[in-house]
A and B are shown apart, each in its own frame.
Chain A
Amino acid sequence: MSIRLEHINYIYSEGTAYEKHALKDVSLEITQGQFVGVIGHTGSGKSTLIQHLNGLIRASSGTLYYEEKNVYDSGYPMKELRSQVGLVFQYPEHQLFEVDVFTDVCFGPKNQGLSARECEERAREALELVGFPEKYYRQSPFELSGGQKRRAAIAGVLAMRPKVLVLDEPTAGLDPKGRDDILDQVAHLHAQTGMTVILVSHSMEDIARYVERIIVMNQGQKMLDDTPKNVFSHYRELEQVGLAAPQVTYIMHDLKEKGLGVRTDATTVEEAADEIMRALKRV
């Protein structure tokens, strides 16, 4: 499985007074099993970019290859592509509509043409994966709490068994525990099934903790594409475009300035703690 973008451009409302060049000459490749993070200031083109990945938006120019086949060829099975690249929008609970949660989660598999029994199997599997309690399966989705709604919505996409899971700010509006729960579950899914995960987020800490590769978007262009350590070592540049490095990175830099012999590339609290202990033992 590979997704390849070549010189993708996208322009909103082309030719009108409200024209916006949202993506400028973006090229990148994502291969099976990667856990990629996409960060960028508001309006940098993150959401536009991920909506290209499952063919919801068609690029104004450039090509998109899924598994080496050109997605923009006439007759390309878009429905197939959307079964394989699952996209969870921001505030996905706004898409819930069925009579009860279970039926809503079955919506995706049903559209894939699976039999009723297979749909139910998939729905159960997906709801278990997101940790949704069985006693709420037959409740109306509008009667659930925010966190539960979100789990149900994500399950709706997982029920399609996509090879790639794209999540647009899955933790928006959740409390800290809710955020950890969702992200831990996604990481678990990634580890267990080898599913490729693409995570768009505003939280540097979340990104640093889970992903192995970060793509930084700035004003519609790809600014950086590297491992978290390398990306966050450019923290001054990130600040200039409205982003930042994780808090611990700043702490490590400050400690080094004050004289403690620590490496400054720690991006999570655990790494920082280990690094500080190591440096102190030497003293």
Chain B
Amino acid sequence: MIRDITIGQYYPAKSCIHRLDPRVKIVCTLLFLVSLFVQNSVLGYGIATLFLAMVIKTSRVPLKFIVKGLKAIVVLLLFTVCMHLFLTKGGKELVHFWIFHITENGLRTSVFMAARLIYLIMGSSIMTFTTTPNGLTDGIESLLRPLNRFRVPVHEVAMMMSIALRFIPILLEETDKIMKAQIARGADLESGNIIQRTKAMVPILIPLFVSAFRRANDLAMAMEARCYNGGENRTKMKPLIFKTRDHMAYLITVFYMAAVFGLGRFVPFHLWIF
């Protein structure tokens, strides 16, 4: 039941993208997201589409999987498209029925906004599909390390994040088990009004909290018993090291940004910005 939720949605596969350094993936994803906002033309979105398609193809994550992530924003997407389609004024009027006017500008804006939203989601999803949660925390810890100078506890925060991530599936399984145990005793989690259903969560939340505290206690003792003492002078078993493919990835992204920024914004072809 609950086991069907794949947290962090890592999709295991062997691809170039999977093997990239997580820092590269984080930075390039951010740059890609920025690129979606610096331009607003067909050429710009065309280049973005090409780039995204190339990344998706290289990542070997099935398109079906990536599209599933869009399900969450279907409502928002429809809302945005409709709003822009029917309320934007300007340009030639294309369709007119009842009180709805669809203009050229409206059509263009709604398509662009939809594309922007979809690419936003797909772009960030690719990052999480191809990077393990621990890879992500390692990457973030590494990128934020300069903040140490300002007394920000970067290591501790990263450790908290990786422990939390590590325990999500464990606690989910425990929740599943507790729910089943209480359902086996006749607990009813589905019927009744909101008050009844909230009360019905008590037999699940209390054992879950007790269990979480017990695990935290055991884990803390285990870590101390193995001389864990915070991040000072602590080395990594799998240090992040840049390889050739990472430099290539950066290069390709820079070219892409140049293309989008340069062509998408400044090419004065009236055709491209119709």
Cβ B184 vs Cβ A54 within 8 A: yes
Produce 1/0 per residue, A84-106, CB < 8 A to B. 00110100101111000000000
Residues of B within 8 A of A92 (CB): 181
- Answer yes or no: B146 CB below 8 A from chain A CBs: no
Give me 11 other A-B pairs in contact (C-beta within 8 A), A87-B184, A157-B184 excluded. A16-B4, A56-B183, A89-B177, A94-B178, A96-B207, A97-B207, A111-B185, A111-B186, A111-B188, A142-B210, A157-B185
Cβ A108 vs Cβ B180 within 8 A: no
Q: A16-B4, A94-B178, A107-B203 are in contact. Are A82 and B210 (CB under 8 A)?
A: no
- Answer yes or no: B168 CB below 8 A from chain A CBs: no
A111 contacts which of B6, B187, B207 (Cβ < 8 Å)? B187
Docked Cα-Cα span, A6 to B193, in Å, equals 37
Residues of A within 8 A of B4 (CB): 12-13, 16
Residues of A within 8 A of B206 (CB): 97
Docked Cα-Cα span, A17 to B181, in Å, equals 28
Cβ B186 vs Cβ A83 within 8 A: yes
Produce 1/0 per residue, A53-71, CB < 8 A to B. 0101000000000000000
Docked Cα-Cα span, A87 to B187, in Å, equals 13
Cβ A56 vs Cβ B211 within 8 A: no
Produce 1/0 per residue, B92-109, CB < 8 A to A. 000000000000000000
Residues of A within 8 A of B183 (CB): 56, 82
Q: With both chains docked as a complex, state the minimum distance between the C-beta of A160 and any C-beta of chain B, in angstroms.
A: 7
Docked Cα-Cα span, A142 to B213, in Å, equals 13
- Interface size in chain B (residues, C-beta < 8 A): 23
Q: How many residue pairs at the A-B interface have CB separations less than 8 Å?
A: 68
Q: With both chains docked as a complex, state the minimum distance between the C-beta of B12 and any C-beta of chain A, in angstroms.
A: 6
Closest 6 CB pairs of A and B: A111-B186, A95-B181, A97-B206, A108-B185, A87-B184, A89-B181
Residues of chain B from 152 to 201 with CB closer than 8 A to chain A in the complex: 174, 177-178, 180-188
Residues of A within 8 A of B241 (CB): none
Which of chain A's residues has its CB closest to B187's CB?
A111
Docked Cα-Cα span, A156 to B187, in Å, equals 12
Which of chain A's residues has its CB closest to B4's CB?
A13
- Answer yes or no: A51 CB below 8 A from chain B CBs: yes
Residues of B within 8 A of A12 (CB): 3-4
Residues of A within 8 A of B210 (CB): 97, 142
A selection of 6 A-B contacts at a CB cut-off of 8 Å is A82-B184, A83-B186, A86-B184, A94-B207, A157-B184, A157-B185
Cβ A56 vs Cβ B180 within 8 A: yes
- Answer yes or no: B45 CB below 8 A from chain A CBs: no
Which of chain A's residues has its CB closest to B204's CB?
A97
Which of chain B's residues has its CB closest to A93's CB?
B207
- Answer yes or no: A79 CB below 8 A from chain B CBs: yes
Which of chain B's residues has its CB closest to A110's CB?
B186
Which of chain B's residues has its CB closest to A92's CB?
B181
Residues of chain A from 213 to 268 with CB closer than 8 A to chain B in the complex: none
Docked Cα-Cα span, A163 to B41, in Å, equals 71
B185 contacts which of A17, A94, A107 (Cβ < 8 Å)? A107
Q: With both chains docked as a complex, state the minimum distance between the C-beta of A18 and any C-beta of chain B, in angstroms.
A: 7
Residues of A within 8 A of B185 (CB): 82, 95, 107-108, 111, 156-157, 160
Docked Cα-Cα span, A76 to B192, in Å, equals 19
Q: With both chains docked as a complex, state the minimum distance between the C-beta of B212 and any C-beta of chain A, in angstroms.
A: 11
Produce 1/0 per residue, B1-25, CB < 8 A to A. 0011010000110000000000000
Residues of A within 8 A of B271 (CB): none
- Answer yes or no: B202 CB below 8 A from chain A CBs: yes
Docked Cα-Cα span, A16 to B11, in Å, equals 9
Cβ B186 vs Cβ A108 within 8 A: yes
Residues of A within 8 A of B188 (CB): 79, 111
- Answer yes or no: A185 CB below 8 A from chain B CBs: no
- Answer yes or no: A42 CB below 8 A from chain B CBs: no
B6 contacts which of A18, A54, A83, A108 (Cβ < 8 Å)? A18
Docked Cα-Cα span, A156 to B207, in Å, equals 15
Q: With both chains docked as a complex, state the minimum distance between the C-beta of A73 and any C-beta of chain B, in angstroms.
A: 19
Docked Cα-Cα span, A18 to B186, in Å, equals 30
B180 contacts which of A18, A51, A107, A110 (Cβ < 8 Å)? A51
Produce 1/0 per residue, A112-126, CB < 8 A to B. 100000000000000
Residues of chain A from 1 to 51 with CB closer than 8 A to chain B in the complex: 12-13, 16-18, 51
Residues of B within 8 A of A13 (CB): 3-4, 6
Q: With both chains docked as a complex, state the minimum distance between the C-beta of A91 and any C-beta of chain B, in angstroms.
A: 9
Residues of A within 8 A of B180 (CB): 51, 56, 89
Residues of A within 8 A of B181 (CB): 87, 89, 92, 94-95
